[in-house]
Structure 1
């Protein structure tokens, strides 16, 4: 099979990550693949800690009082909740299981926020008992929360009222302006049974200005609620802080060059189908941009509005706290020759790279760790399929230009998969075991130390 010119194949390399590189150089991944006999994920908690520090620094530099909750849905591993507890951060949950896991791994009830629609009554009762904040999504949910507060209890129900974004009027989440007005009056009528702490929203997409506009509106709502005698001293902007997986030049070049011929079976994707794998402002920088933005109809920045109104800013990032915090490892089980490229089959499924199940593709290309150091160098395009009986079960439809010839037994390391990729759609299809998670506790140049994650099922 001939080596094909590199210029024929668009590339999308992940941003440099010394911690991941150190793990790959250590030889540990080969040992773990042999031990587990299948795919696995490795997690880098130091990255989580660094991302959390960066977000707190953005708040501090802007002089804004704030609090960070980790959105647990982004990754089920226990280590992230353990790190949140160790650093007095919060956790965003949406089920009894997530709530119990957060408590079980050391997060105090008062540092938990409960989101999601139409919450289970048992979840609402647990939230009240533990002093968690509930983001109330509808009027009937507010009534259920108030009804569940024990008579004469010393602990009121803590809540935020969730706003339906005016820019996304067809969202199934949140309350209209009229419903919010009714909800505020019901909170007043409930008296000491509730502690109405403010408002929340969550926007789809990653644009900064719409979030700034809605944050400014929620500050205004807090001021109106205080006139009614409600506490209303906090707003939550949810998540939506983008993560950059690659640099700007690589991303724009990839979008301009890619077409159906670069994918197995002529598969095509619209550029709008992809996650924005590069963002001008990502993670903590996106938060800084939000705080510096001027909401529509306001002369002040978001930070200035928050400070003048004495309103705290809450946020529930998931992916942004998991930036460069882990990777996924597969072993190549088979190699087929195709017309001008190879088709690799690995020992797992695309359920561990969840973009495939959203009619999209996880684009940051995997690192090839060859078992044979003498594998020929060059450019060897290859798509990557799963070890299942489904035509559509592809980890990478794209013909990735590997720098060495992939062979059976080689390892593929997909970088940056901690945020939403690892397990939001996992399934033991074909009775294949779910990939275990390995926590790497040391990447300082010495041999990495590892342990299995302590996830509570």
Structure 2
């Protein structure tokens, strides 16, 4: 088995951070065995990496001596493996639909460990969430009214009031100052029908300072709510913890050098179209930075304010918990040459690599696997298309640099795809089956695999 990396000397590249354990796994015969068994593309899941991600966030809370709760944002990946890990380890789950809520409950996550987000939640979702004792982030006054009415005939509803970020006034999520004032009065008047436990926000982007500033504001709002007799002992800062896919130098070079000439058909991407594939502060380190920041640039750090005010910090990372927790494997079906570069067609579609369906590109370099003898390197540049009849079905518009010409039966592996890439937009277009998800674990150093307990739709 040969693993053929992309040499930096030829073509525009963005190598992912080294991953020795994944390299070892790919060097074995497992990928080709699975490709033969499934007859098409598949996803590899590495749940031990998910466990490590959760542990890192908890460690950041412990280091700051902050009482906090981690909720996995389920929308980042549909696999059951992550929810099973949450149930076993007491990690919370963030859901936004009745289907997601049922999945979490069905895999053993207790209702009290589930937070229900999303705008304008349907009555059926609210009903099950109340009955199961979930924490509900209320997005609007009419939703609050429906929730109070429902709770009056079932059981008390646990809720957070979602704040419209002042820095993002055009966001469709959350309530402004006047609406929050009304919401607090309605919670007070509802009496025992509701347990108003605090506030939350949905903030776009990955910057540390805006999250710390808004978190500090929510702490003050908790004190105001307590003066009205409400519980208000926790805040949620949502997700938005960046993932660092690539080295700083590689990312800077890529963003400065990329041009339409690097892409099939002269495709053009602005740097702003891309996810920030390098982040100097990512994952649990971003949480550390938020806790160390002084809200508004003054006073005590956020961690101290949380402790002093007895406020619990909730967070809902998705992509950050799935960092390096999976990859996607596509079999090469055909190779042609055009205008001095190759066009690869792989089994499957770009619907299983979701970034391309948001007018963007998934940039970490894929890796070529072959089980045939490979001689001296013979550089070959190629874009990568899916096996559909759509011109736009491109996994990689970029002419990626391969060390050798691929052949049908070789495999192309996209690294670090567990977070939002694998299944956000998957569809059985052309009646192509959805790629199965394969859970890979190494108990006692022995590599074992099984299919994920949630079969493809």
- The verdict on a shared fold, with TM-score over 0.5 as the criterion, is yes
Query: Post-superposition shift, 1:298?
Result: 3.4
Aligned to 1:417: 417
Q: Which of 142, 146, 165 is residue 144 of structure 2 equivalent to?
A: 142
Q: Whole-Å Cα distance in 2 between the matches of residues 422 and 5 of structure 1?
A: 26
Q: Which residues in structure 2 correspond to 1:80-91 (within 5 Å)?
A: 80-91=82-93
Q: Whole-Å Cα distance in 2 between the matches of residues 443 and 36 of structure 1?
A: 24
Query: Post-superposition shift, 1:5?
Result: 9.6
Q: Whole-Å Cα distance in 2 between the matches of residues 92 and 312 of structure 1?
A: 16
TM-score normalised by the chain length of structure 1? 0.96
Change (3 A) 1:5 1:161: closer
Query: Post-superposition shift, 1:150?
Result: 4.2
1:21 aligns with 2:23: yes
Query: Post-superposition shift, 1:294?
Result: 1.1
- Equivalent pair of 2:47/2:85 in contact (CA under 8 Å): yes
Q: Whole-Å Cα distance in 2 between the matches of residues 254 and 269 of structure 1?
A: 12
Aligned to 2:371: 371
Q: Deviations over 1:67-112 (max 9, x none)?
A: 0000000000000000011110110001111001001111000000
Query: Post-superposition shift, 1:439?
Result: 0.3
- Equivalent pair of 1:381/1:402 in contact (CA under 8 Å): yes
Q: Whole-Å Cα distance in 1 between the matches of residues 221 and 412 of structure 2?
A: 50
Query: Post-superposition shift, 1:301?
Result: 1.0
Greater CA deviation, 248-257 or 8-17? 8-17
Q: Which residues in structure 2 correspond to 1:238-253 (within 5 Å)?
A: 238-253=238-253
TM-score normalised by the chain length of structure 2? 0.96
Unaligned runs of 5+ residues in structure 1 are: none
Q: Whole-Å Cα distance in 2 between the matches of residues 116 and 46 of structure 1?
A: 29
- Equivalent pair of 2:92/2:113 in contact (CA under 8 Å): yes
Q: Which of 45, 55, 58 is residue 56 of structure 1 equivalent to?
A: 58
Change (3 A) 1:235 1:209: same
Query: How many pairs align?
Result: 451
Aligned to 2:271: 271
Task: Give the secondary structure class of the aligned counterpart of 1:235.
Answer: strand
Change (3 A) 1:443 1:271: farther
Q: Whole-Å Cα distance in 2 between the matches of residues 175 and 6 of structure 1?
A: 49
Aligned to 2:184: 184
Q: Whole-Å Cα distance in 2 between the matches of residues 376 and 354 of structure 1?
A: 35
- Equivalent pair of 1:355/1:362 in contact (CA under 8 Å): yes
Q: Whole-Å Cα distance in 2 between the matches of residues 20 and 293 of structure 1?
A: 35
Change (3 A) 1:222 1:34: same
Aligned to 1:217: 217
- Equivalent pair of 2:10/2:379 in contact (CA under 8 Å): no
- Equivalent pair of 2:10/2:401 in contact (CA under 8 Å): no
Change (3 A) 1:368 1:224: same
Task: Give the secondary structure class of the aligned counterpart of 2:72.
Answer: strand
- Equivalent pair of 1:216/1:298 in contact (CA under 8 Å): no
Q: Whole-Å Cα distance in 2 between the matches of residues 234 and 377 of structure 1?
A: 58
Aligned to 1:303: 303
Task: Give the secondary structure class of the aligned counterpart of 1:439.
Answer: strand
Q: Which of 57, 71, 74 is residue 73 of structure 2 equivalent to?
A: 71
Q: Which residues in structure 2 correspond to 1:22-171 (within 5 Å)?
A: 22-151=24-153, 155-171=155-171
Query: Post-superposition shift, 1:16?
Result: 1.2
Query: Post-superposition shift, 1:6?
Result: 5.6
Aligned to 1:455: 454
Q: Whole-Å Cα distance in 1 between the matches of residues 376 and 451 of structure 2?
A: 35
Task: Give the secondary structure class of the aligned counterpart of 1:369.
Answer: strand
Query: Post-superposition shift, 1:278?
Result: 0.5
Task: Give the secondary structure class of the aligned counterpart of 1:308.
Answer: helix
Aligned to 2:338: 338
Unaligned runs of 5+ residues in structure 2 are: 1-5
Query: Post-superposition shift, 1:20?
Result: 1.6
Q: Whole-Å Cα distance in 2 between the matches of residues 297 and 371 of structure 1?
A: 57
CA RMSD in angstroms comes to 1.4
Aligned to 1:288: 288
